[in-house]
Structure formats: C-alpha cells, structure tokens
Amino acid sequence: MASPVLKAVKYANVSKTFFRDAARCLSTTSALQSPRRPKSGGKNIVLVEGVRTPFLLSGTTYKDLMPHDLARTALKGLLKRTNVNKTDVEYVVFGTVIQEVNTSNVAREASLGAGFSQKTPAHTVTQACISSNQAMTTGIGLLASGQADAVIAGGVEFMSDVPIRWGRKLRQMALKMNRTKGLQNQLSLLIKTLASKPAFLEIPAVAEFSTGEVMGHSADRLCAAFGISRIEQDEYALRSHSKAFWASEKGLLSDVIPYKVPGVADTVVKDNGIRPSSIEQMSKLKAAFIKPHGTITAANSSFLTDGASACLLMTEEKALELGYKPRAYLREFVYVSQDPKDQLLLGPAYATPKVLERAGLKMSDISVFEFHEAFAGQILANLKAMDSDYFAKNYMNRTEKVGTPDLSKFNLWGGSLSIGHPFGATGVRLVTTAANRLIDEDGQYALVAACAAGGIGHGMIVERYPQ
C-alpha cells in the first residue's frame, strides 16, 4: 500500500525532477571555512530597541481597529520604551502586505498619529512576509549612506479586515456611470453589465499570482518532495508552541507592549495564539490544502494574525551621543529569490550560506538562530536542503552544504507557528528576538532568515553589542 507521503506526491503534482533531486538531499557531510569578524560596511548600524503589539488571531480583540491603529501603537510603545525625542528620528519606514486603501502609506499615517512632526518623512514598503525586513534594511541604507542618523523601521498587518472589491466589470460600470447622463442610459448600462454575468466580489487570496497556488498547497508539495511526514510536522509545531508558552510565562518576550484597545475592558498584554496541545489532538485534524492525503493542517501552519512591530535603528555614533546602550549591531544581510513553484519556501536555505559567506562566518559561529516559521514542513524542508551537498551543488552552485542549524539554538522562544505571523511585522520580531536572545544566552552572533511569497528570502547577521 502506498505511503501517505507517496500519495501526497501523486495528488500534489510535484515536479518529478525536483522530487527526484530532493530525495537525494537526505544525507551528506562537509566542512566550512574558519571564522572572521563580519564586515561592518563602514558605519556601524545598531538596533537600539524593538517592540511589538501583542500578536492576536485575526477576528479577535483587534477586529474593530484599522492597520494604522496598530502601527501607531507600536510607534508610541517604542517612543515610551526608548524615551527618544521624536525630533531625533529622521525617517520612518514600515512594511505591510495587504494595504488598507484609505491609509495606503500606513507609515505616514501612523507616524502622524503617534505625534511625529509633519516634516518627518515616512514611506511604506511591501515584500510579502519579509516586508519589515525590507523596512529595516531600507533604514540601514539611509543610515549607512549618511541620509539619516536615526530611523524607525517597522511593519503591520491587519487580517481582520481586508479590502474586498467589486468585480472588475462592476467597477468599470461604476466609473462609466459617473460619466453617463440620464437615468435611462444609466439603467441601460446597468442591465448590459448584469447580463454579462459579472463577478460581484473580488476577495484577496493568499496565493501566488504567477502559479495560482496558495502557499499551503506549495508547502504540501515541498513536504512531499523532501519526504517530510505529518508526524514530523506536528512534532515541530508542538515544539514551537511549547517553547513560546515557556518563554511567555518566563517573561522573555519582553518586546511585547501592552495595548489598551478602545472599548475593550482588559488591556491586551500577551499573544493569544500560543496554545500547546498534544500530538494526539493535532493528529485529529484533516489536511487543509491537498485533500485527503496532504500533510499540512491548521495545527502545523502559521495562522492569520493582526499585529505591528517597530524598532529604533541608529548609527552607533548617534546612539552613543544620545546616551543609549544598543542591543545589537545589524551586520550583513542578503536577499535571494528562486523558483516560486517548487522552491517557493526555501528562502532560508538559499540565504543562510550566502549571508554567512558575506560575514566571513560559519554555522558553528552562530549562537542564536531565528527562522520564520510559515509552516512546520517549510522549516523541516529548509533544514534538509541545508544539510545536502547534492542540493548545494545542483541548485545553489556551491561546492558543499552549509549544514543544519543546531536545534538547541534554534527558535528557542517559539516562532511564527505559535506567536503568530502578521505578514508585514514578523521581520522586526525576528531581529528583536535574536538580539534579546543573544543578551539572555550570552551569545555573539545570531542568524535571522525568512521565506516569503514569490519565492524570495532574506538573511541577516545580528551581533550582540558589548555589554
């Protein structure tokens, strides 16, 4: 009888070539170069502090707000945490994915709402799940080039209320109606449009435009290609929730700022998606995407989340001038991209060796790993790809594998599967958590990596600031 994984291969329509090659990525060994200090690229850029609102399941406590409310709250929380003078902040940049049309430049609206001067520029970037990573590196560029000495970078996502449009034919009709004179002519236009059987609504889909596949479908295909079982995914998801629960109870998630939501009696003080369960309970859930034999379920996937994050970045010189003791240096970073079908979620596997090489480090030099968890299977597939000489040589044009991160250093305070994943805000959470863990665990270097829609990915080296 065919195994569930082989059944999933059949139903997922995995590329035969990629499946064959992925199967050859399951065992190999190699060595890497000796370490040297990462290049600072001229000016030292530091993370002074990072904060975030509690990350909440969409449709819960934040449901009646707007994205700029969350972003404004993150900015105010950062101002309170750092006591920075707003006039010292020269630029604000935020990431987001699904934009609210009324506040399309949410960075500007949030900064004005938080009390920043009208003369403080602000703009919004979008790069799928690494949008706030892009916000941070945009800020780094401004600082490194001398355009600014202090920048706030952040991100926000609000999945409780996404823009739903009329269908295109109805939109076109509405625009023509404005130019059409006379009730009879307007009625004629309406009847003609309705006779064409237009789509009445267009709802944003979490799907790839180029392939038409939702990300969960791609994750199922990736798990089938790398032979990752359902039980492996459920065990990893349980690990994420258990570690996030422990970290939350221990007060380690100190980047969370309280949020008094208008009209809600209790102040929100913690994430509400952290729910340790059991393998037995998780195993009862059915396949969410490729039915009936897929292995991706609601339990081993990240969930739709509302939340915002913000961090204060400065040149080291400016931070010291203002009396701050930074949390970390932000060192080398890279962006990568690959096939958005078979390799949609393999950004970390491609980014990790590249950013280590740029920094002159090897895997054993890294004390803290913070990888974005889109799906448990996505994490496990990346780990297998990173541990394969075959994958390195045939897909990455490298002579040897980078190796697998030490799991005793990997996402020890939970991850996106448990804490939540507001698309535009996760990157700042990853970098802030990496910096906080370096301090808590007395490490020197952290590696942050993430995948994103479109087959893109990001990697960054974070170095602990001397204490």
Residue 407's nearest CA partner among 361, 360, 460, 370 is 370
Total number of residues shown for the chain = 467
HSE, side-chain direction, 13 A CA sphere, residue 399: 5
Residue 372: name the closest of 324, 428, 320 by CA: 428
Q: How many helices (H) and strands (E) does the chain have?
A: 16, 12
Report the C-alpha dihedral over residues 464, 77, 93, 142, rounded to 10 degrees. Answer: -40
Whether residue 253 contacts residue 413, with contact meaning beta carbons closer than 8 Å, is answered with yes
Structure tokens at 311: 């961090």
Number of neighbours of residue 339 by Cβ within 10 angstroms = 14
pLDDT of 30: 39
- Whether omega before 292 lies within 30 degrees of 0, making that bond cis, reads yes
pLDDT for the residue 376 = 98
- Residue in 343, 394, 392, 372 with CA at minimum distance from that of residue 458: 372
Question: Do 390 and 24 contact (CB within 8 A), yes or no?
Answer: yes
Helix H or strand E encompassing 183 = helix 183-195
pLDDT the model gives residue 208: 81
Phi, psi for residue 214 in degrees, rounded to 5: -75, 155
Query: What's the pTM value of the predicted model, to 2 decimals?
Result: 0.90
| Predicted pLDDT at 26 | 63
Residues of the chain predicted below pLDDT 50: 1, 6, 9, 28-40
Out of 25, 223, 311, 451, the active site residue is: 451
C-beta separation of 100 from 164 below 8 A: no
Q: What are phi and psi of 143, to 5 degrees?
A: -70, -45
Task: Give the integer Cα–Cα distance in Å for 283 and 99.
Answer: 36
CA separation for the pair 467, 167 (Å, rounded)? 57
CA distance 130 to 427: 6
Closest CA to 232 of 63, 379, 18, 38: 379
Residue 14: what pLDDT?
A: 58
Q: Give the closest residue to 364 by CA, choosing from 431, 451, 444.
A: 444
Integer CA distances (angstroms), 185 to 177, 307, 437, in order: 9, 47, 67
Backbone angles phi, psi at 151, to 5 degrees: -135, 145
- DSSP letter at 254 equals T
Per-residue confidence (pLDDT) for residue 39, from 0 to 100? 47
- What is the Cα 373 distance to its own chain's centre? 8
Query: Which of 25, 129, 223, 311 is the catalytic position?
Result: 129
Q: Measure the CA–CA gap between 303 and 376, rounded to whole angstroms.
A: 12
Say how far apart CA 275 and CA 260 lie, in whole Å.
23
Which element (helix H / strand E) includes 307? Answer: strand 305-315
Residue with tokens 């269908």: 167
Amino acid at 110: A
pLDDT, residue 12, reads 54
311 is catalytic: no
Query: What CA dihedral angle connects 201, 205, 210 and 213, to 10 degrees?
Result: -120
Contact 61, 268 (CB under 8 A): yes
Confidence at residue 34, expressed as pLDDT on a 0 to 100 scale? 38
Whole-angstrom Cα distance, residue 448 to residue 372? 8
Helix, strand, or coil here: 211? coil
Running DSSP on this structure, what letter comes out for residue 252?
-
Measure the N-to-C terminal CA separation of the chain; round to a whole number of Å: 59
Does residue 223 carry a catalytic annotation?
A: no
Concatenated DSSP letters of 67-87: HHHHHHHHHHHHHHHH---GG
What whole-number distance in Å separates Cα of residue 93 and Cα of residue 322? 21
What pLDDT shows up at residue 298?
A: 96
Count CB atoms within 10 A of the CB of residue 227: 20
198 CA to centre of own chain: 35
- The predicted pLDDT at position 279 comes to 96
